[in-house]
């Protein structure tokens, strides 16, 4: 028993590789379409190749004998290739009389090709000239008294025909493009001389003794027909060019396509009138008659329109496209172009007398061209049928489900590929999802999105579109309270018709929120396959990895168990205390681990003694300074509690791990030698979350011992090999807010002493980078010394040399470095050198805070040099506070500058440091000194171009005021300016000298302005003198000076002297 027949599943789907090598689905794409696209691309990309030959000259000469012409054809051909070259010589109507002659000798032969004529094959070498001579007979056609020569000739740069036709009376017709050269006299017979004979050449003449019976009109019709196909019918527009090779004509008749009705349209000088019905085999053919204004041999061009209507809209019947036959024409040929509306497809049936072509005349190339044909006979036949295009849509859906505790958010990205027909809307069935947004705005008219029953959403586009369309939509679905399971169905994508949409496998990513535990039910999943190791781009940051699937978008269903988790906070607290005889420096680090829900604020329980103080510094793990605020009254601790609850707001909600650092100092009562002091160090503890552990370490300077008091804390024994320095290590599991200690001070006479008699610090600033070199020459009776480096420098990045030997120090939790001293040597003098780099910010007009390296607080420093090195264009405005400038002014070649009293080599010898390469000369160097140790200072710098601009600008403005403003030259103003300059020289001599040098450019420009003004005034005075002399010459010998006009002040300028008698 046979089964059901196997049928092809439509639409046809092909996969083609794109430029990245990825397979892309292509709907309804036939092999012929692919070939057509390849041919078009090759035509666009293939450059035009130069020809292999050029016919430079063609000369035809001969005479007429009886019913034939004896011609001699001479061709001069330039060969442009060194290979065999094929040269078509045409002349298909001619018969050879003799063998062809070639000159010069070489490789060549002549071949006759049916339909193309004679072909010469030449191999004469590149850029060589070859001459070919052919003697042939050409038959003549005689009609009445007219004789006609018709010959197919090749086109040459220069061509001419000399034909001796005895008895020729007059030339009646000659081909277009050719020119007849008239003879010397109409009465004197001469050979027919034609220039430009080429192509389908025709020459006709009448004999002298012929009769006067007129020859009949022999018509040729060339057509250009455009057929526009739509759902209602076919509209024709035919452009016919008609000419006569015989007698003139003044009308002709045209037969329209079968079933077509004539459509009147505006015409020029001719008229078109339907005349009769009838046609071949008595079928329904319309005939129109075209009347011309007068007799002519043409060519005449007329336009005729017609239309074939379907019996019913979109009936899809076969219609005849062949027509527009000029009745009685001897030769008819032309082109037919078929176009169709974008929503219709044209099916073509078998044809007769036509062939499909790729190239059409320019007038037959509409934008919606379907096919082009050439017809070479009439009547020709070509059947066509219009069928509506079926929209083919392919879509690649991507879905992201964000599962939160109270709702699920759907983010869908739909990548459509629309072919064959434009679409106005795209439909999506959302089901239980509530649409929130759809885009993009430049593509979708989101304000008119309509919801239909059963959640069908029609998404309108702003304009009908084809090709690649990408939509993005967002929807949501609430979750019921205490939901234990989750079922997710994908939106169903719909096409405009059944089977018109093909959906590729969908990418589905399900990302639970941090406080949501989602476990997929593998047995209940429908149409989904898990994809391991794939994370779609653009997903929000979550602590959980997404569940990624591939599946059928029409059937896929996700099922899983759901559990909402509460936030969990776990805190590890570590406290570091550094104790001396005056205060306790405390640094607490609270390491939080936040799970399931982000945390945007931290709650701290603070002892009241710290809550009222302003010295608590709070830093995040990103280095940002934070502040705390009081808890709202509703959440505050009731009663007069010694604890105050504070809130610390985070810059952004955090989940995972984060760290909070608190730094503060607590004063300690003055210690007495050989006496024990009880002291409770106040501590800050977390106010929320679980306290996992609390460890504290107490470090003291030499000579101070501590003991643990009370029973809330327990001493932690130090393990062997622990690199941390000696001290008290304690731990506590409860939220204890103080650490009770007993502090014992040994006899001060037994304590060690460290004295640094010389300290040299070199700071080199280059952009955002700072490099320090610190050298200390000290004497100590201690076993170790402490080195304090600026904040931001890790102790492991510091290079240390002790007595010119490379060593490694021990870092403390506070970021300090402990340098052990040799035990085997007696107490004496040592040299400690440290080098490191760090990144700084600030500088310029903004103060730059510089923290300098130094030894521990119990070290006495006698003399310190600070060597500051800046880029060559940077200058220090004001010396830092606490330092004395150590330099002198000297001539540096172009200007006066500050030169340090000691250079690097001298400072290395002074401090006993290692000798390193000198600082480059093209830098600005400053040397400062101080008695004692300076921990921190501020400097302000300015760039040299800015100094020159400001000082020269000020000098130029003041100079122009002095030149052009009279009040500025008043003695009071000049005295005030002199006093200001004197005060600046006394108070700020360095800045005054620097500004004076920088103002030199402005002073020069002001001096030039003064000289120019003085020159102008002199010319004005000279003009006034000449005017006065002319007045004296015309008047008397002596003229009295004119009094000034009322209300006009006299000028301070000197008036010209009156003319003397001798000048008269």
pLDDT range class, residue 763, cuts 50, 70, 90:
very high
Are 589 and 559 in the same domain? no
What span, in angstroms and rounded, lies between the C-alpha atoms of 825 and 882?
36
Q: Which two tokens stand for residue 762?
A: 């070199």
**Given a cut of 80, is residue 741 above it in pLDDT?**
yes
**Given a cut of 90, is residue 59 above it in pLDDT?**
yes
Tell me: cis bond preceding 440? Omega within 30 of 0 counts. yes
Share of the chain above pLDDT 90, in %: 20
- Tokens 């169905």 correspond to 489
Most confident of 106-115, 631-640, 748-757: 106-115
What pLDDT is recorded for position 239? 92
**Which CATH number belongs to the domain containing residue 802 in this structure?**
2.60.40
pLDDT range class, residue 939, cuts 50, 70, 90:
confident
Q: What is the mean pLDDT of residues 718-723?
A: 61
- Is 243 strand, coil or helix? strand
Are 200 and 284 in the same domain? no
Are 774 and 871 in the same domain? yes
Q: Is residue 1029 part of a domain?
A: no
Are 724 and 621 in the same domain? yes
Are 33 and 165 in the same domain? no
What span, in angstroms and rounded, lies between the C-alpha atoms of 831 and 834?
10
User: Could you tell me which residue, 137 or 16, shows the higher pLDDT?
Assistant: 137
**Given a cut of 80, is residue 260 above it in pLDDT?**
yes
Q: Is residue 404 part of a domain?
A: yes
Q: What is the mean pLDDT of residues 593-597?
A: 88
**Given a cut of 50, is residue 1047 above it in pLDDT?**
no
Q: Which of 182, 207, 232 is the last residue of a domain?
A: 207
Are 372 and 458 in the same domain? no
The pLDDT tens digits for 854-906 are 888 778 888 899 999 988 878 887 778 888 888 777 666 556 667 788 888 88
Are 169 and 227 in the same domain? no
Q: Which of 901, 934, 967 is the last residue of a domain?
A: 934
The pLDDT tens digits for 388-434 are 777 788 999 999 999 998 899 999 999 999 887 788 888 898 888 98
Q: Is residue 213 part of a domain?
A: no
Across the chain, what does the average pLDDT equal?
A: 81
Who's near 421: CB < 8 A, 6+ residues apart? 342, 343, 389, 390, 391, 392, 466
Give CA separation, 156 vs 93, 136, 195, in Å: 19, 19, 11
The pLDDT tens digits for 656-698 are 899 999 999 888 887 777 777 888 899 999 988 889 999 999 9
Give CA separation, 475 vs 25, 400, 437, 455, 486, in Å: 28, 11, 7, 12, 16
Beta bridge partner(s), residue 236: 227, 306
What pLDDT is recorded for position 861? 87
Q: Is residue 1056 part of a domain?
A: no
Q: Which two tokens stand for residue 1046?
A: 């009322």
Are 420 and 519 in the same domain? yes
Q: How many domains would you assign to the chain?
A: 7
Are 557 and 583 in the same domain? no
Q: Is residue 1047 part of a domain?
A: no
Q: What is the mean pLDDT of residues 103-128?
A: 85
What pLDDT is recorded for position 268? 78
- Is 125 strand, coil or helix? coil
Give CA separation, 956 vs 861, 1001, 1002, 1005, in Å: 49, 8, 4, 6
What span, in angstroms and rounded, lies between the C-alpha atoms of 740 and 681?
6
Are 273 and 327 in the same domain? yes
What span, in angstroms and rounded, lies between the C-alpha atoms of 161 and 138?
14
Q: Is residue 1030 part of a domain?
A: no
What span, in angstroms and rounded, lies between the C-alpha atoms of 821 and 785?
7
Q: Which two tokens stand for residue 92?
A: 């298909």
Residue 974: phi and psi, rounded to 5, are -65, -40
- Radius of gyration of the chain from its Cα atoms, rounded to whole angstroms: 54
Q: Is residue 1060 part of a domain?
A: no
What pLDDT is recorded for position 399? 94
**Given a cut of 70, is residue 209 above it in pLDDT?**
no
Most confident of 41-55, 287-301, 706-720: 287-301
Largest CA distance in the chain: 160
Contact at 8 Å (CB) between 832 and 801? yes
What pLDDT is recorded for position 1030? 40
**Which CATH number belongs to the domain containing residue 177 in this structure?**
2.60.40.1730
Compute the C-alpha angle 902/906/908, nearest 5°: 125
Least confident window among 56-70, 344-358, 750-764: 750-764
What pLDDT is recorded for position 1046? 43
Q: Which two tokens stand for residue 901?
A: 């009293």
State the residue range of the domain holding 523: 392-564
Who's near 378: CB < 8 A, 6+ residues apart? 221, 325, 326, 329, 332, 353
CA atoms within 13 A on the CB side of 20: 3
What span, in angstroms and rounded, lies between the C-alpha atoms of 182 and 144?
24
Smallest CA-to-CA distance from 303 within 259, 340, 262 is with: 262
Q: What pTM did the predictor assign?
A: 0.44
What span, in angstroms and rounded, lies between the C-alpha atoms of 548 and 324?
65
What pLDDT is recorded for position 1036? 39
**Given a cut of 90, is residue 508 above it in pLDDT?**
yes
Segments of 28-105 assigned E as strands = 53-65, 68-79, 85-90, 95-96, 101-103
Q: Which two tokens stand for residue 414?
A: 């739909």
User: Could you tell me which residue, 466 or 747, shows the higher pLDDT?
Assistant: 466
Are 411 and 530 in the same domain? yes
Q: Which two tokens stand for residue 342?
A: 């974008």
Compute the C-alpha angle 969/972/977, nearest 5°: 80
**Given a cut of 50, is residue 1053 above it in pLDDT?**
no
Polymer length of the chain? 1064
Residue 262: phi and psi, rounded to 5, are -70, 135
What pLDDT is recorded for position 742? 87
**Given a cut of 50, is residue 805 above it in pLDDT?**
yes
Q: Is residue 885 part of a domain?
A: yes
What span, in angstroms and rounded, lies between the C-alpha atoms of 577 and 679?
13
User: Rounded to an integer, what is the distance from CA 357 to the centroid of its chain?
Assistant: 44
Q: What is the mean pLDDT of residues 1048-1064?
A: 38
What span, in angstroms and rounded, lies between the C-alpha atoms of 92 and 112?
8
The pLDDT tens digits for 560-586 are 999 988 888 999 999 999 887 778 889
What pLDDT is recorded for position 993? 65
What pLDDT is recorded for position 2? 45
Compute the C-alpha angle 156/162/163, nearest 5°: 130
Beta bridge partner(s), residue 670: none
Q: What is the mean pLDDT of residues 477-499?
A: 86
**Given a cut of 90, is residue 591 above it in pLDDT?**
yes
Are 916 and 792 in the same domain? yes
Q: Which of 337, 355, 388 is the last residue of a domain?
A: 388
């Amino acid at each position: 028993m046979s089964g059901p027949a196997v049928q092809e599943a439509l639409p046809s789907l092909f996969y083609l590789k794109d430029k990245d090598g990825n397979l892309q689905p292509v709907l309804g794409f036939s092999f012929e379409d692919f070939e057509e696209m390849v041919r078009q691309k090759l035509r666009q990309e293939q450059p035009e190749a130069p020809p292999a030959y050029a016919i430079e000259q063609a000369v035809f000469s001969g005479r007429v004998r009886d019913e034939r012409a004896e011609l001699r054809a001479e061709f001069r051909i330039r060969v442009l290739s060194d290979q065999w070259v094929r040269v078509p010589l045409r002349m298909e109507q001619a018969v050879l009389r003799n063998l062809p002659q070639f000159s010069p000798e070489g490789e060549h032969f002549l071949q006759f090709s049916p339909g193309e004529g004679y072909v010469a094959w030449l191999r004469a070498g590149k850029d060589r000239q070859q001459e070919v001579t052919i003697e042939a007979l050409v038959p003549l056609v005689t009609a009445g008294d007219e004789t006609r020569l018709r010959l197919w000739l090749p086109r040459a740069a220069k061509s001419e025909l000399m034909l001796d036709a005895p008895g020729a009376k007059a030339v009646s017709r000659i081909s277009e493009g050719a020119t007849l050269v008239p003879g010397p006299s109409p009465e004197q017979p001469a050979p027919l001389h034609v220039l430009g004979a080429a192509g389908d050449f025709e020459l006709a003449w009448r004999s002298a003794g012929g009769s006067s019976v007129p020859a009949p009109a022999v018509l040729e019709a060339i057509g250009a027909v455009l057929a526009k196909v739509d759902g209602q019918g076919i509209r024709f527009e035919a452009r016919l060019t008609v000419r006569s090779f015989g007698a003139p004509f003044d009308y002709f008749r045209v037969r329209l396509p079968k079933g077509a009705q004539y459509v009147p349209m505006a015409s020029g000088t001719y008229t078109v009138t339907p005349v009769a019905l009838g046609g071949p085999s008595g079928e329904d053919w319309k005939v129109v008659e075209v009347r011309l204004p007068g007799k002519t041999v043409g060519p005449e061009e007329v336009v005729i329109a017609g239309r074939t209507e379907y019996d019913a809209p979109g009936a899809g019947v076969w219609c005849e496209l062949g027509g527009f036959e000029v009745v009685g024409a001897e030769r008819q040929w032309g082109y037919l172009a078929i176009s169709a509306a974008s929503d219709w497809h044209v099916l073509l049936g078998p044809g007769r007398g036509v062939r499909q072509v790729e190239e059409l005349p320019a007038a037959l190339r509409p934008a919606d061209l379907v096919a082009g044909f050439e017809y070479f006979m009439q009547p020709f036949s070509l059947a066509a049928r219009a069928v509506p295009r079926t929209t083919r849509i392919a879509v690649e859906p991507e879905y992201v489900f964000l599962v939160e505790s109270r709702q699920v958010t759907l983010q869908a990205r739909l990548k459509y590929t629309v072919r064959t027909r434009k679409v106005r809307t795209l439909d999506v069935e959302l089901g239980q999802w509530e649409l929130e947004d759809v885009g993009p705005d430049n593509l979708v008219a989101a304000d008119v999105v309509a919801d239909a029953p059963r959640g069908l959403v029609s998404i309108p586009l702003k304009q009908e579109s084809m090709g690649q369309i990408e939509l993005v939509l967002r929807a949501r679905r609430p979750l019921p309270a205490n939901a234990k399971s989750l079922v997710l169905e994908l939106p169903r994508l719909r096409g405009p018709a059944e089977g018109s949409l093909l959906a590729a496998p969908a990418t589905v990513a399900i990302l639970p929120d941090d406080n949501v535990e989602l476990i997929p039910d593998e047995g209940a999943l429908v149409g989904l396959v898990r994809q391991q190791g794939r994370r779609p781009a653009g997903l929000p940051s979550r602590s959980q990895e997404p569940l990624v699937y591939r599946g059928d978008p029409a059937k896929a269903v996700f099922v899983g168990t759901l559990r909402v988790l509460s936030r969990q906070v776990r805190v590890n607290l570590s406290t570091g205390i550094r104790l001396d005889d005056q205060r306790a420096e405390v640094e607490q680090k609270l390491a939080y681990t936040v799970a399931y829900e982000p945390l945007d604020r931290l709650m701290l329980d603070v002892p009241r003694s710290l809550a009222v103080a302003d010295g608590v510094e709070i830093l995040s793990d990103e280095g940002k300074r934070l502040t705390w605020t009081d808890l709202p009254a509703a959440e505050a601790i009731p009663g007069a509690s010694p604890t105050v609850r504070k809130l610390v707001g985070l810059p952004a909600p955090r989940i995972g791990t984060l760290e909070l650092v608190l730094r503060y100092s607590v004063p300690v009562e003055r210690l007495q030698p050989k006496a024990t002091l009880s002291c409770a160090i106040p501590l800050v503890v977390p106010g929320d979350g679980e306290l996992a552990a609390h460890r504290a370490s107490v470090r003291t300077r030499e000579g101070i011992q501590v003991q643990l008091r009370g029973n809330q804390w327990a001493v932690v024994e130090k393990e062997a090999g622990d690199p941390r320095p000696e001290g008290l290590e304690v731990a506590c599991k409860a939220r204890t807010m103080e650490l009770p200690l007993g502090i014992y001070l040994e006899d001060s006479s037994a304590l060690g002493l460290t004295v640094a008699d010389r300290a040299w610090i070199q700071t080199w600033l280059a952009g955002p980078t700072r490099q320090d070199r610190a050298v200390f020459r000290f004497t100590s009776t201690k076993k170790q010394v402490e080195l304090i480096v600026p904040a931001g420098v890790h102790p492991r990045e510091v290079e240390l040399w002790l007595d010119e030997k490379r060593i490694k120090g021990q870092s403390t939790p506070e970021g300090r470095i402990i340098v052990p001293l040799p035990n085997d040597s007696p107490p004496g003098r040592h040299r400690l050198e440290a080098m490191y780099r760090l990144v700084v910010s600030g500088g310029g007009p903004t103060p730059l805070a510089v923290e300098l390296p130094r030894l521990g607080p119990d070290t006495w420093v006698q003399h310190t040099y600070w060597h500051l090195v800046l880029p060559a264009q940077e200058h220090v405005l004001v010396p830092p506070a606490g330092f004395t400038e150590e330099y002198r002014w000297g001539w540096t070649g172009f200007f006066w500058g500050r030169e340090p009293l000691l250079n690097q080599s001298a400072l290395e010898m002074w401090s006993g440091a290692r000798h390193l390469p000198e600082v480059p000369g093209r830098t600005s160097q400053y040397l400062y000194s101080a008695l004692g140790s300076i921990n921190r200072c501020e400097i302000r710098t300015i760039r040299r171009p800015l100094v020159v601009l400001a000082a020269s600008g000020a000098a130029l403005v003041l100079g122009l005021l002095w030149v052009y403003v009279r009040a500025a030259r008043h003695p009071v103003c000049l005295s005030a300016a002199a006093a200001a300059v004197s005060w600046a020289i006394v108070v700020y001599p360095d800045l005054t000298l620097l500004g004076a040098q920088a103002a030199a450019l402005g002073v020069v420009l002001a001096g030039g302005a003064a000289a120019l003004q003085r020159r102008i005034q002199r010319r004005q005075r000279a003009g006034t003198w000449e005017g006065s002399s002319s007045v004296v010459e015309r008047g008397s010998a002596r003229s009295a000076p004119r009094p000034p006009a009322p209300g006009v002040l006299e000028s301070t300028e000197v008036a010209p002297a009156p003319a003397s008698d001798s000048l008269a």
